A and B are shown apart, each in its own frame.
Chain A
Amino acid sequence: MNRPILRPAVCLLVISCCIPWGAVSSGARTDVLLETMQHELQRATSALSKSNPTPYYLSYTATDINGFFIAGANGSLIASNGFQRRQADVIMRVGSAALDNTHSHSRSTGILSGTLPLNDDPDAIARVLWQLTDREYEQAAAAFLKVKTNTAVQSEEEDKSPDFSQEAPQIHLGDSRAHISLDQRAWEGRIRRVSSEFLKYPEVYSSAVVVQVMDTRSYLATSENTALVRPSAISRLIIQAQTRADDGMELLRVESFQADSADQLPSDSVLTAKVDKIAADLKALRAAPAAEPFAGPALLSGRAAAVFFHEVLGHRLEGHRQRDETEGQTFTKKVNQRVLPAFLTVADDPTMKELNGERLAGFYDFDDEGVPAARVNAVENGILKNFLMSRMPIKNFSNSNGHGRRQPGLMPTGRQGNLIVTSTNTVKESDLRLEFIDQIKKANKPYGLYFEDIQGGFTITGRAMPQAFQVIPVMVWRVYPDGRPDELVRGVDIVGTPLLSLNNIMVTGDTLQVFNGVCGAESGQVPVAAAAPAMLFSEIEVQKRRKGTDRPPLMPPPGLNDMAPASKAKPVASSGAKP
């Protein structure tokens, strides 16, 4: 498992494992799916109201996904599949909002999923929903009895909030199906061409180019009379390449693009230039010295700072974490206290579609519990004010603020959308470097570290683990105060404790930069964005990344100094496959 380079391709293949083949799509004006969901929901609600224990909340979600996925490497396709599927999620709450079957660790008993017919056949849709509802009732009723027993037996919980908040019903039937331009063949050609560019670079061992185009229509009907139809479309293109340093350290570069539709993705010339840049970066990284443990001044680019805030702060603002007693609850009791320097304000705003002309991946109008998305000013002038709330209440925060998100099949929790960090203590980007050098001198350090790009990271919020975090910086430079040119280093890992590091921020740049990505947590993978200005830290602590033990490949790549006897292979650069 030492070569993750093809893994993204492999993984996306799974996401898109339903491939249509003569699949059916109805062009009906009235929405048979929504109507059938509502009708069956009503029937279930009234029938189950006579059962004991009684459900007090029932919702049906249908997620209709359509799209294609293409992956290529070295000029050849590795996967090319179209897909279509409809998934149903039945969420049921038995008992009362004060205490129900989803309480605490029994949360997963609130949901059951299945596959719906691809076409609008009301009888078949109703049957599947009935089947799922009946089975979900069995599971939820049994779980509720257990929850009641446990609550009676166990010591009192610190946070006695109810299990479900009261929210106003919402009705919003979104626009008709967003059009998806499905030119799969043309994209196959492009993926072949772009991926073959890496063959020019012998120091890139493995690489992949992936495009995923998805058109989703999400339906929600609830026993509280919410009815939502939400169309969304997204296209992503990812270029990834990998090499290994002579000491065995794995070096990885990933670039991704996203747009509302596939034809808005960058042109071949932009992509080819990106390949050249990635290859050049990897070559430079191979030659770069390995990082040494260091604590001292650091400058984070806006993108790097955005990831840093998503991991270090964002996840700790998620409402449900303040309630779960296995969580670290870093911020639970810090409301109205200072948690950041006073010049910083952090909001999560899923209602923002764009920032400085760049699309934000965490945009949505309603969350996955049918609550309208809202801007949450979580930290105002350094003071903690609010959390990212789903419909799971916490002490002093009894309502959702439209941040209940999930991937189909999982229970929602409070999640980030677009995390926006703004600052009132700014200097022009160009002056930031001067301040940085000043700080290095003041700290009497031989150099400072400039984090140009960060790959993403993960954060541990549980109590059982140290409250540490890691982000994976990729392009990191030593900046010398004496005017020597900057020096690229490899294998840098940021370490430390979140609260401390957040308060080391001294000053920021004046322009927000955006990092778009997909965030995974308990409620699955959801698209998110984070935006922040560049930031100067008085001190950041880094460690040397643990490196792999394998040396670079023993033989050169095939086709370069090819000694194979019967080979009539052409020179590498031109030997890509012909379609």
Chain B
Amino acid sequence: MRAKVDSSLVARFSPLGITSLVTLFLLICVLRTAAQQKGAKTVSASSDPVLQAMRQELARSKSQLKMDNVPPPYYIEYRVTDLDYYEAEAAFGALRQSQRSRSRSARVVVRVGDYKQDSYYGPGTGTVDLAPLEDNPIALRRQLWLATDQAYKQASEALASKKAVLSRFTADQPFDDFARAEALESVGPLAKLEFDPKAWNQTLQQSTALFRTDPKIQSLTASVRFRAQNLYFVNSEGTVTRQGRATYYAMMAGTTQAADGMRLDRSPYYSAASLSELPTPEKFQADMAAMFATLKDLREAPEVEEEYRGPVLFSSDAASDVFSGMIGGNVLGRRPKPGESARTEGDFASSYKSRVLPTFLSVIDDPTLKTFNGKTLVGSYEIDDEGVRAAAVPVIQNGELVNYLMGREPIRDIPASNGHGRAGPGQPPVPSVGILVVQSKQALSPEDLKKKLIEICRREGKPYAYFVDTLSGYNPRLLYRVYEKDGHQELVRGAVFNELDTRTLRNNIVAVGNDLLVSNREAQVPTTVIAPSILFDELEVKRTDAKNAKLPEYPPPDLTPPISDARIRLIPSDRRR
């Protein structure tokens, strides 16, 4: 890289013209996530050629890596992530994408200094490169060798610039830069991706062929993303781990427009750690038909009134989105930038030992759960991506925040990891949710919860209350009025919530259901949220301010008659003549 110039002004000539795409690749890496799987037996580290090569190179680096005037590393870690990935998509009854790819990335962290203060800062947070796909020890060690060399050199620069930054602040940091962790050796079974691509592609095509039945459907797609990830980890403290997992994800999406131009969409998905938990082709088709029907219903549904303030019931599906983002996103022990005095980042930075939820609610994060109500959990793991054994962490007890989910970067009052340092392939580890479980001592049955909704509605003299079935972000996608008089439901469209935030969670949840739902969340780091339906005594529902889009400028194309089996069979006989 030479001068930094506006890329549109730069014309380049190179043998392949390819360098500009590096970032794109990294992005793709980021988009591809972790997964999980179990079974088989544990084996020893020495029998795995990848781990063996990593250990050899680590031992060599540990004993030999040393630059003049720079202390040798006090900590080195190698993480190799092997990802086998399949992605397919169909639109309008035809396959648009079907691809399988495998990649391996190697991430190397070298720390200079000591546990109290080290070089993990800016360029000192590690180096990443591609690693060989095959178990070829020399090829892998060569990549590690260069990545380690670079990481060490960057670490020495990082420590200097970190010290310069910290010297601007007077207060001494009351906690270490890096938490100590005990060495452990655990070699788990390798995950494999096993599925029938043809059958899945057919399911995707058949289900999206439903577009033929409704010209007002503007797009209809279905897709799958299957991934098997095997993570190899070694560090200079003696930890050696290998963990495999697989995740299976399927989704469908449709869009349409109401007569007034309002865009309406749906995108239900399925996610599990076992392929057998994804829907059968018949079930997938039926669910597609159901989604299709709700799009039609949404189109014809009345718009929500300008403003409503009153009781709102969230289904467990909608509630899991709320708990995932507003609780899960705020109980992470993320250290703020140097010089900032807050304990963590996020809404609960100053809420330690304070009430953040109603007293009848508790929240625990327990990645060691394997299944719940017979369902696999994608957020399940035994050892985190920093080589620390996962622990069940009660984070909120009777409404009070008592702990944070921690990786190996300590924060004020929490000096050690509790096994929640997790990372996407090639990414630095960060504290993350594993399996977040919302517990209550006084859960109601769904029927009683609905009764309670009607009760509050009656008390406030309202003709109806609201029930949210699914969310899109933090706004309702499927929202129903529930009438006080006879309990019947009416779908509405065009609503947003006003002020749905952590304060509302603390003050306005009045009851929860006993209908705990497993919500597996496919992301860079897969997580699971197990949450009940929740009842708010007061929440504001508003009509959206968004301007309606224009309707299509011209009608969609006419359909050709489907080709019958008979016609297909005619072709070879024609040829014979």
Q: Residues of A contacting B143 with CB < 8 Å?
A: 73-74
Our pick among B93, B96, B132, B550 for the contact of A115 (Cβ within 8 Å) is B96
CA distance A320 to B6 in the complex (A): 18
Is the beta-carbon distance between B9 and A74 smaller than 8 angstroms?
no
A115 with B95: in contact, given A76-B139, A77-B133 (CB under 8 Å)? no
Interface of chain B: mostly helix, strand, loop or mixed? mixed
Complex interface bits, A81-125 against B, C-beta within 8 A gives 1, otherwise 0: 101011000000000000000000000000000011111011111
A342 at the interface (CB under 8 A from B): no
Which residues of chain B have C-beta atoms less than 8 A from A496's C-beta? none
Near B by CB (< 8 A), chain A positions 181-231 give 199, 205-206
Stretch from A430-438, A439-447, A567-575 at the B interface = A567-575
Contacts of B197 in A (CB 8 A): 21-22
Let me know if B130 and A554 touch, CB within 8 A: no
Tell me the smallest distance from the CB of A96 to a CB of chain B, in Å: 19
* Contact among B99, B130, B150, B559 with A79 in the assembled complex (CB-CB below 8 Å): B130
Contact of A143 with B by CB under 8 A: no
Q: Which of B95-119 contact A (CB under 8 A)?
A: 95-104
Interface residues of B in 1-32 (CB under 8 A from A): 1-3, 5-6, 8-22, 24-25, 28
Interface residues of A in 1-48 (CB under 8 A from B): 1-4, 6-15, 17-24, 40, 43-44, 47-48
- Residue contact A563 to B94, C-beta cutoff 8 Å: no
Q: How far is the CA of A121 from the CA of B562 in the complex (A)?
A: 10
Q: Assess the B557–A24 pair: CB atoms within 8 A.
A: no
Please tell me if the beta carbons of A9 and B130 are within 8 angstroms of each other in the complex: yes
Q: Verify if A236 is at the interface (C-beta below 8 Å from B).
A: yes
Inter-chain contacts of A117 with B (CB < 8 A): 91-92, 94-96
| Nearest opposing residue in chain A for B131, CB measure | A78
Q: Is the CB of B14 within 8 A of A517?
A: yes
A535 CA to B67 CA, complexed, in Å:
46
Question: Are B99 and A21 in contact, with the CB atoms below 8 A?
Answer: yes
Report the nearest A residue to B550, measured CB to CB.
A138
Residue of B95, B99, B134, B153 touching A77 (CB-CB under 8 A): B134
B146 adjacent to A519 (CB under 8 Å): no
Asked whether B381 is an interface residue with its Cβ less than 8 Å from the other chain, the reply is no
State whether the Cβ of B138 lies closer than 8 Å to any Cβ in chain A.
Answer: yes
Interface residues contributed by chain A, number (CB under 8 Å):
111
Query: A256 near B15 (CB under 8 angstroms)?
Result: yes
- What residues of chain B lie closer than 8 Å to A122, measured between beta carbons? 560
Residues B98 and A465 in contact, CB atoms below 8 Å apart: no
- Give the residues from 49 to 77 in chain A that come closer than 8 angstroms, CB to CB, to chain B: 51, 73-77
Compute how far the CA of A79 lies from the CA of B133 in the bound complex, rounded to whole angstroms: 7
Stretch from A274-282, A349-357, A450-458 at the B interface: A450-458
Q: CA of A315 to CA of B11 in the docked complex: distance in angstroms?
A: 8
Which one, A7, A18, A470, contacts B22 given CB within 8 A?
A7
Are A137 and B553 closer than 8 Å at their CB atoms? yes
In the complex formed, the residue of B with least CB distance to A77 is: B133
By the criterion CB–CB under 8 Å, are B139 and A75 in contact?
yes
- Verify if B198 is at the interface (C-beta below 8 Å from A): yes
- Taking the closest CB of chain A, its distance from the CB of B411, in whole angstroms, is 30
CB neighbours (8 Å) of B153 from chain A are 550-551
Q: Judge if A506 is at the interface, Cβ distance under 8 Å.
A: no
B120-160 at interface with A (beta carbon < 8 Å)? 129-146, 149-150, 152-153
CA distance A168 to B378 in the complex (A): 59
Closest B residue to A81 by beta carbon equals B101
Could you say which of B9, B25, B139, B556 contacts A127, with CB atoms under 8 Å apart?
Answer: B556
Flag if A119 contacts B57 (CB, 8 Å). Answer: no
Expressed in whole angstroms, the minimum distance between the Cβ of A416 and any Cβ of chain B is 9
Of A4, A522, A555, which is in contact with the most chain B CB atoms at under 10 Å from its CB? A555
CA distance A470 to B14 in the complex (A): 12
The complex places the Cα of A470 from the Cα of B60 at a distance, in Å, of 41
Q: A460: which of B5, B88, B101 is its contact (CB, 8 Å)?
A: B5
Given the contacts A124-B91, A470-B2, A21 and B16 also touching, CB distance less than 8 Å: no
Q: Are B557 and A12 in contact (CB under 8 A)?
A: no
Q: Does B373 contact A (CB under 8 A)?
A: no
- A397 interface residue (CB < 8 Å to B): no
User: Within 8 Å CB of A520, what residues of B?
Assistant: 11-14, 17, 20
Q: Which residues of B contact A341 (CB under 8 A)?
A: none
Q: Digitize B524-566: 1 where CB-to-A-CB distance is under 8 Å, 0 elsewhere.
A: 0000000000000000000000000010111111011000000
Complex Cα gap A558–B137 (Å): 10
Verify if A508 is at the interface (C-beta below 8 Å from B).
no
B63 at interface by CB-CB < 8 Å: yes
A11: contacting residue among B22, B93, B552, CB under 8 A: B22
- How many angstroms from the CA of A411 to the CA of B234 in the assembled complex? 49
Q: Is the CB of A558 within 8 A of B19?
A: no
- A348 interfacial by beta-carbon distance below 8 Å: no
> Could you list 20 further interchain pairs (A-B, Cβ under 8 angstroms) beyond the known A74-B132, A326-B9, A577-B132?
A3-B150, A4-B19, A7-B18, A11-B16, A13-B103, A21-B99, A74-B136, A76-B140, A115-B97, A117-B94, A123-B212, A130-B556, A137-B553, A238-B15, A315-B11, A461-B11, A551-B153, A555-B149, A559-B141, A566-B55
Chain A interface (Cβ within 8 Å of chain B)? 1-4, 6-15, 17-24, 40, 43-44, 47-48, 51, 73-81, 83, 85-86, 115-119, 121-131, 134, 137-138, 199, 205-206, 236, 238, 254, 256, 307, 310-311, 315, 326, 455-462, 464-465, 470, 517-522, 525, 528, 546, 550-551, 553-555, 557-559, 562-567, 569, 572, 575-577, 579
Listed from nearest, the 9 A-B pairs whose CB atoms lie closest are A117-B94, A518-B17, A19-B99, A47-B554, A577-B136, A76-B132, A124-B94, A462-B9, A11-B18
